[in-house]
Structure formats: structure tokens, C-alpha cells
Amino acid sequence: MYYFIMNPAASSGVGRKVWKRLKPILKMRGVEYRLIALTDKEKLIAVIKKLTGVKKKLSLGGTINVVDATSEEEAEDKDIHLVVLGGDGTLNLVFNSIVDIEHTKLSCIRIGSGNDFARNVGIEKDPEKALLKLLDDPEEIVLDYGEADYVMTDGNRKSRKYVISSGIGYDADICQEAAHSKLKKVLNVFHLGKLVYVTIGIKQIFSRSNTGARIYLDGKGPLCVRNLFFAVGMIHEMEGGGVPFCPGADPVDGKLNVCLAKGAPIPKLLAEVAMVYRRKHLLFSNIAMYRCRSMRIIVDNPQWIHMDGETPCKVRQVIASCRHGLRLVK
């Protein structure tokens, strides 16, 4: 049994259009599936928790707005297989809603502007090809994932998992601005949404303010930075629409790859942004990469934090750590 998860309104309605292309394939193959199509995040979270928190017979009842299934039978599989039709934000939401990670398989089909997770793990760009690969020649791998424990400006603590990266500073500022960008919505219609990240990235170089920070890697340190530009702990090598901040990052080695950048004159920062796409940014003296199991950052001035591009708040402190056990089927 496959549970396809789709936001009909995501990416200017692309999700619904892709589903219409995939549905005939499933019916032709006689594949047993359910479609969970929700625009309400809280309802989606509740459905995922119910699916992944009960390993006996379960009935979804009336908890979902749209269910399209080849069978009305109740699910009896030991493992739950979720297939996300969406980008990194939807994948992050679904992954954080999973109760029993050990007995949940996760797949994704690209829909969205970034799609860094799909790009990092080598999932087919074409939705039909990705689905056929999943049905005919599935490959399961167990990946690392991250967890960010952070202290908000009001002193409250929260925790959230991520599948790609979590950072503060420059990359989080880009994600925060992109989330509210009208241009992104327009470009998504033409499948050019990732250009927004490039545009905002250049703008942020001229507008953002750096902060002092103390950084502890695996409890050692601190590394004292007077002008932190950004710090990101990554499971995979690319984020932000294909930006390889941590070249060679291995998602199964049990380590975070940390890219740490200090402030520099604007011309130098612009050159570094250009060179990062060629994986040459580590040649600059103000940028370094580390490998560790955990990274703790304490900043002098509150900074935006992101987890897979989602920016919930500004923080004073964050501990990013590496975990293992994300069951990916592609």
C-alpha cells in the first residue's frame, strides 16, 4: 500500500497537475494506494501521525478531505510507505509528523522550486519516470537526518528534525525572504522558482548585518567569530536550489558537514557566491568546512534559523545534531 501525500495548492497547482499524470499509471498497474490531498497543515500532520503511530489495522475515517483509493480495505502493512508529491518544505513537514520512523518508508516525487533532497539523493526529475522507478526497481537506503534544538528570543526551547540542512545567518535570511516573495510564486508557474534564491542571495549580501558568535563542535571550543556571516550543518551537500555549500557530504556517515563563513568585503562575498556553484568557495580564507556529530551556536544578536528552508523564528542558540534512520525508497 502506498500513501501519496499531495497539497493541491502547492507550487501554483502543479501538485494536482502531476497527480493527474501519475494516477493512470497506478490504475493501469493495479497498484493499491490512497491519496491524501490536504491544504490544511494541521490536518495533514494529524493524518500522518495517525498513519505512522498505529501499526495494527487502522481506518482513516473522515479525517482527510480527499481520498482516492484502489481499495477500501483497511491497511494491514507492518510498514507504512509515504510518497510525498512536493518540494523540500512538504517533505520536512511530513517527516516531522512521523511517529514511528523505524516502520515508515519515505519516498518523494519532485514538485516545488528547490527539490534539494530529491536532487541530492538522485531521484528522477520527471515525475512519471520517478514513479516507474519506484514501482519497478525500488531501492531502499537508510539515511542520516538532522535535529535542531533551539532557543527562541522569548527563552522558549523547541526542536525540529530536518532531512537536508539547518543553518543561521545568510542562508536562513534568504529562506525567510523567499518564503514571502511574490516573485517566487510567479516563477514557480514557469518552473523557475530557484532563481528567486539567487536574486535574494545577492540582495542579502548588501543588506544583512553579521553577528558575533561562539561555536562548539562536538562539545569542543569555542570557535569565537566576531562577524558570523552564516553557519549551516548539512546532511547532504546541496541546499537552497542546488547550492553545494558542503561538497562531498555523505548522508550515511553519521556526521554533519558544517560550512562556516565569516563576514568579508562585499566584492569578496559576491565572488564567493559565484564560486560556490563551482565548489571552489572553500579556497577563500573566511570560509571553512568541518565534520562533527553536533554543533552548538550561541549568537550575540538573534538570527533567523532554517530547517530545510523553513524559517519558524529567530534564535539565540541552536544545537544541530546528526541522527540516523530515515528509510528512503527511490
Instruction: Decide if 24 contacts 102 (C-beta within 8 A).
Output: no
Q: Could you give the percent of the chain with pLDDT greater than 70?
A: 86
Per-residue pLDDT tens over the stretch 3-61: 999 988 766 678 889 999 999 999 999 999 999 998 889 999 999 999 998 544 444 44
Of the candidate ranges 45-59, 206-220, 285-299, the one whose mean pLDDT is the lowest: 45-59
Residue 241, pLDDT score: 83
Strands, E, within the chain: which ranges?
2-6, 33-37, 67-69, 80-86, 104-110, 140-152, 157-162, 165-169, 211-217, 220-234, 256-262, 287-292, 294-307, 314-329
Of the candidate ranges 109-113, 129-133, 138-142, 293-297, the one whose mean pLDDT is the lowest: 109-113
pLDDT band per the 50, 70, 90 thresholds, residue 74: very low
pLDDT band per the 50, 70, 90 thresholds, residue 73: very low
**2-138 against 145-323: fold identical:** no
pLDDT band per the 50, 70, 90 thresholds, residue 176: very high
Provide mean pLDDT across the span 275-286: 96
Residue 95 CA to residue 45 CA, distance in Å, equals: 10
CATH of region 145-323, choose from 3.30.420.40, 3.40.50.2300, 2.60.200.40, 3.90.550.10: 2.60.200.40
Per-residue pLDDT tens over the stretch 132-150: 999 999 999 999 999 999 9
What CATH number was assigned to the domain covering residues 2-138?
3.40.50.10330
Annotate 273-329 with DSSP letters as a single string: HHHHTTT-GGGSTTEEEEEESEEEEEEEEEEEEEETTB---EEEEEEEEEEEEEEEE
Per-domain residue ranges for the chain? 2-138, 145-323
Q: What does the radius of gyration of the chain's CA atoms come to, in whole angstroms?
A: 20
Q: Classify residue 75 by its DSSP letter.
A: B
Of the candidate ranges 181-190, 254-263, 280-289, the one whose mean pLDDT is the lowest: 181-190
Q: Is the pLDDT of residue 77 over 80?
A: no
Residues 6+ apart with CB under 8 A from 144: 235, 251, 252, 253, 254, 255, 322, 323, 324, 326
Residue 70, pLDDT score: 43
